[in-house]
A and B are shown apart, each in its own frame.
Chain A
Amino acid sequence: MAATATGIHHRSYTSELRLRATRAEYFRLGLMTVLLLVLPFVLDNYWLSIANTILIAVIGAVGLNILVGYTGQISLGQGGFMAVGAYSSAILSDRIGLPTPLAILLAVLLTAAVGVFFGLPGLRLKGLYLAIATLASQVIIEFLVRRDIGDFLTEGLGYINVDRLAFLGFEIGGRDVFEQQWYWILLVLAVLTVISARNIFRTGLGRSFMAVRDQDIAAEAIGVNLTRAKLTAFAVSSGFVGLAGSLTAHYSEVVSWEKFTLDVSILYLAMIIVGGLGSIAGAVYGAVFMTLLPELIRRLANALESTMPFLGDQLPAVRNATFGAVIIAFLIFEPRGLDRIWQRMKDYVRFWPFRY
């Protein structure tokens, strides 16, 4: 699935390993950087909050894509893993009183460990059986946080109030700067996530993930340790997912089980399918697309309210129906997602006036 752009010929291994090969790629990178840096100054708080949601989704989607897109282990447990990250980080920072960055770090490690535990069935199962096993893990985790046995998690409240993010003497400010300051924090973390994920797949470990996906028995025959590769993939992926979960907790300042249902798992799977399985850029496109889609639908419904009041009344249903239809449409018409579409557009421009 890691398609190489046509028309770029590498003459050395070093050049093949480079992340960016052409001048156009550097140019686009520069453009993107400028855009991301300017964004918080031009957007209002509402749009910034959407941007922040997108950035968290990017982290979660990249994490999920490592597991599903690159290692070929389908997971319906995304929501559950995010819950682990969110609850543990909220409890560690607020109740035990650890500094927030440390709490987030520990939450990430804990989620990675939980991911490895629920990845254990993946050592023996694949494909549909694994899908069902991870569905079970989602249901079980959801039940545990919802039931909250002994009121350990929420102390009987049903949710956890998380203090405003503060670390090293810095505290997130009030309403007018809240979104903007979060934007910078989330941007840094999302960029770090993307860069590190991108680099994992330049190492032997990352290549072994892809070997497991493409043909597990052949991978084992050429010396890939399947157990290690699969469990590491579960750990790395769940780590990022846990980060997304704990950021959700600190950003929204409240943790409750409704945010981590099976629907969330499906939403994230939709992101990586729409964006492109097995592509880091695809995970980013998918996160942007699937977060902006409800907003788009809402505006469309508002605009059509006079002619079709039905749309506005049934907004959640219309949104879910569109989500389902988008998933189906992408799988049927472009299974490799937005990433492939973008790739094709670039090829078209590069080869114009020739067709390929």
Chain B
Amino acid sequence: MSTFLSLLAYGLADGAILALAALGFVLIYKATGVINFAQGEFLLVGAYMFYTGFVVMGLPLVGAALFGVVVATVIGVLVERVILRPMVGENPISIIMVTIGLSMFLKAVVQAFYGTTPKSQPAILPRSSVEIFGAMIPLNRLSAILIAAVVLTAFTIFFRRSRHGIAMRAVADDQQAAMTMGISVRRIFAMAWALAAVSALIAGVLLGDISAVDQNIASFGLLVFPVVILGGLDSVPGTIVGGLTIGLLHQFTAGYLDSGLANVIPYIALVLILLVRPYGIFGETRIERV
């Protein structure tokens, strides 16, 4: 029982972080139709930018967070402006490849500046544990879940209520109709990338705090694919359901079966979902059968 509970907490924490990472992915796909293979590297860059602000520059926590958000926004907008905009209208293979190139580039740049050894960063989240039904649950996992939940709620409210959020949904729905209503599609594209980079930053920082600030963050980010395929490529609620499912699946497999298998089981799930229901649980059933 206690193993179960702690695995549950670990899985939910992983899942919440994955949901944040997947949120950025879905934002980009929904608004611009681009599959971003560099989402994991956005997490990586985010975590290292926060590290730079917090440890290297010695900023206070809020300052470091702000620094990270600013850099992430700039990177997001730059990527959209410099790399993705010239690619509008190209075939899917080219667009997928350009984001793969981007992921390789970002990862290598991070490696060149910070090396491959894990960076030590003072804990942001509390390190102590609480006992729940006989299981020791580390507080940082619980706070990670909490923070992710708050951020996801904030994003959801943003999409539902705010002017820009509604404009983004309009662009996702129909670009031309949105343009005739006076929405700047270019600005929305830039905003989608910036928001994706920011949500990836939060995910990266949380992940860096509960595990370590190193290159593994990027490979964790690769797990967004099972998440978004399960939840539906264009569904925001889908990222939460998908994220939590994949997070739990990952941790329970690691805890009860085998930690190596745990890294693969999300992909096996992915293949099965693709065979049965390629548009995911909440995704729009627009997939073309050939």
Interface residues in chain A, defined as those with a beta carbon under 8 Å from any beta carbon in chain B: 68, 72, 74, 121, 123-129, 131-133, 135-137, 139-140, 143, 146-147, 216-217, 220, 226, 266, 269-270, 273, 277, 310, 314, 316-321, 323-328, 331-332, 335
Contact = CB atoms under 8 A, between A and B. Distances in A.
Nearest to A133: B274
Nearest to B263: A143
Given A320-B104, A325-B105, A127 B92 contact: yes
8 contacts: A74-B96, A124-B289, A143-B263, A317-B109, A320-B105, A323-B105, A324-B102, A331-B90
Contacts of B275: 121, 124
A68 B93 contact: yes
A140 B112 contact: no
B264 A324 contact: no
Nearest to A318: B112
A139 B101 contact: no
B290 A318 contact: no
A123 B288 CA distance: 11
Interface residues of B, number: 43
Given A121-B274, A136-B270, A321 B108 contact: yes
Given A128-B92, A266-B100, A327-B100, A135 B225 contact: yes
B100 A140 contact: no
**What are the nearest 5 A-B pairs in CB distance?**
A324-B105, A327-B101, A324-B104, A320-B108, A321-B108
A328 B92 CA distance: 14
Contact of A140 (B92, B108, B268): B268
A324 B263 CA distance: 25
A107 B281 CA distance: 39
B278 interface: yes
Contacts of A146: 260
Given A140-B267, A314-B111, A324-B102, A129 B287 contact: yes
Interface string B232-250: 0100000000000000000
B38 to A, nearest CB: 9
Interface of B: 35, 83, 86-87, 90-94, 96-98, 100-109, 111-112, 225-226, 229, 233, 260-261, 263-264, 267-268, 270-271, 274-275, 278, 287-290
Given A121-B271, A217-B290, A320-B105, 19 more contacts: A124-B290, A126-B92, A126-B288, A131-B93, A132-B35, A132-B225, A135-B267, A136-B267, A136-B268, A140-B271, A269-B97, A270-B101, A273-B97, A320-B104, A321-B112, A323-B101, A325-B101, A327-B98, A331-B98
Nearest to B33: A128
A88 to B, nearest CB: 21
Contacts of B102: 324, 328
B274 A318 contact: no
B109 to A, nearest CB: 5
B108 A331 contact: no
Contact of B112 (A126, A135, A217, A314): A314
A135 B97 CA distance: 13
A125 B278 contact: yes
B215 to A, nearest CB: 10
A270 B97 CA distance: 8
Contacts of B261: 143, 147
Contacts of A216: 290
Contacts of B86: 332
Given A74-B93, A123-B290, A131 B35 contact: yes
Nearest to A262: B222
A128 B35 contact: yes
Contacts of B226: 136
B264 A139 contact: yes
Contacts of A128: 35, 92, 96, 233
Contacts of B91: 72
Contacts of A321: 104-105, 108-109, 112
A75 to B, nearest CB: 10
Contacts of A320: 104-105, 107-108, 111
A327 B97 CA distance: 8
Contact of B90 (A123, A137, A335): A335
Given A139-B264, A317-B109, A331 B101 contact: yes
Given A68-B93, A128-B35, A324-B104, A136 B109 contact: no
B112 to A, nearest CB: 4
A317 B270 contact: no
Contacts of B274: 121, 125, 129, 132-133, 136
A72 B92 CA distance: 10
Nearest to A127: B92
Q: Which of A132, A220, A317 counts the most chain B CB atoms within 10 A? A: A132
B112 A324 contact: no
Contact of A317 (B93, B108, B267, B287): B108
Contacts of B103: 324
B149 to A, nearest CB: 27
